[in-house]
Amino acid sequence: MHERLQARLAGVGRGVLTALAMTMTAANAGSPQAEAAPITRAAVQGTTLAGWTEQWWRWAAARPIAPYMDPDGRLCDMDQDGPVWFLAGTNGRFQPRRECVVPEGKHLLLPIINMVIFASPGRRECTALQARAAVNNEHLLSAVVLLDGQPLGDMRAHRVSSNGCFRLDPEDDTSALAAADGYWLMLTPLPRGRHTLSVGANYGAPDGKAYSTMKQTFEYVLHVGGRSQMVQVERVQPVRAAP
């Protein structure tokens, strides 16, 4: 079971992704824009941003179907019962467009591109795990996040590392030890209505470094407070990731 779990999580960082499909048309007329959803690094109900990313990895590992394999949003509400609603990236092998209904008042935790490294069974080398998780994140080549068609700024400012190492099961000292590092956004609760989040990112670590070609692209359509009327979304030619 432990080996299968490690293989599943390692798959988050192995994909090859070449484009970000940008949504350039807002949802409904007069729908809220990106300014209504500021980014925060403040603690949410006493848990730091780094702490929430650790909880995200536990959430992703514990599900019967990995949420980053969700093709269209059917897994969006799986075990979402806290103040922070977890969004998911991909394993890098497909480019999903997910549609989800999100309750009002939820913060949103968005993984842009990231790494998690697990210790081999019986080993506890936290410093080495942290170094391995950091390698690609020191070589971010490009990262773009759009909310309702508007860019959310320089993603290099949003790197988050785990607080040292953490246990997959915090109540079991024998469970897998891990370190995580990457780029994340915590958004304060979005206004009621329809919103889009589009993400594209890739690493540019030197050849031979682990996961040096990892890339991500995915999109969420979020119906905050209930499903809104569907509208036609216009797409433009994909923006190619940097070589």
pLDDT at site 7: 33
pTM for this entry? 0.79
Q: Name the average pLDDT for the chain.
A: 80
Mean pLDDT of 142-146: 96
pLDDT at site 26: 34
168 against 212, higher pLDDT: 168
Domain residue limits, the chain: 2-238
Answer for the pair 166, 149: CB distance below 8 angstroms, yes or no: no
pLDDT at site 65: 86
Which three-class secondary structure string do you get for 216-232? Answer: EEEEEEEEECCCCCCCC
The SS3 of residue 204 is: coil
pLDDT at site 125: 84
Instruction: Tell me the pLDDT tens digit for each residue of 109-131.
Output: 999 999 999 887 666 689 999 99
pLDDT at 193 over 70: yes
Calculate what percentage of the chain has a pLDDT beyond 90.
57
Instruction: Tell me the pLDDT tens digit for each residue of 5-59.
Output: 333 333 333 332 333 333 333 333 344 444 544 899 999 999 999 999 999 999 9
Distances (CA, A) of 57 to 40, 218, 224: 20, 18, 24
